[in-house]
Amino acid sequence: MSCEIDVSGLVKRFGANTVLDGIDLCLKPGERVAIIGPSGTGKSTLLRCLNYLDRPDQGKIAIGDLTVDAAKAGKAEILALRRRTGFVFQGYALFANMTARQNIMEGLTTVRGWSKEKAQDRADQILTQIGLGDRGDSYPSGLSGGQQQRVGIGRAMALDADLMLFDEPTSALDPEWVGEVLDLIRKIADGRQTMLIVTHEMQFAREIADRVVFMEGGRIVEQGPPGQIFGNAQDNRTRSFLRRVG
């Protein structure tokens, strides 16, 4: 089966610090890939580069029939790439002055160019799917952390993106809210949505991923099925990391 998402030679530097050092990664349609590894190793930066929240310094990104030269992409190419990706942030990143419904509508009107009426209908469908059908008029300040993150996930869901990017979606949550967010992500995964998940929840990665990627020092060190990575990792760096977090 061919790649739906194909990343090749991706490099990102911040000054003299190389955060991504030639990343190659292929995702097949419907594949769920979890990225694990120590802090500061480029996991979140990889996701941010795929959505052009950070501009890569070199490499290529292909999503479906769209291929972008990472360093040379113009505004039109970046917008086209963003239309094919949905991003779920660590810290919700909701607009405080917008209701839950309006937060979900925002990407549909600004990125997709939908009418307000069409976007509102879609937002109400999504609110029902994420279990917040009665909270559409609530502002973020009136929602729990778990509910806010569900709205953030709903905003990404609404775009019907080829690729959903989850950047440690439970890291900012109190423990009591983690379960409800992970349950929603499992529900999305069951629909065979192609997704790339940076997570520190090892058991969740083991359960949800078709493939686990271990990163260290801005490079992919090892990757394979969850049973292999968690049960029989081949690289000493992978084994050392899993001992520390296990």
pLDDT in tens, 1-35: 588 999 999 999 999 999 999 999 999 999 999 99
pLDDT at 238: 97
pLDDT at 190: 86
CB count, 10 Å around CB of 181? 23
Residues of the chain with pLDDT under 70: 1
Mean pLDDT for the chain overall: 94
pLDDT at 1: 56
pLDDT at 135: 97
pLDDT at 177: 86
Name the residue range of residue 136's domain.
Answer: 5-245
Reading the block at residue 164, the tokens are: 């959903």
The CATH number for 41's domain is 3.40.50.300
Number of domains in the chain: 1
Model-level pTM greater than 0.85? yes
pLDDT at 86: 92
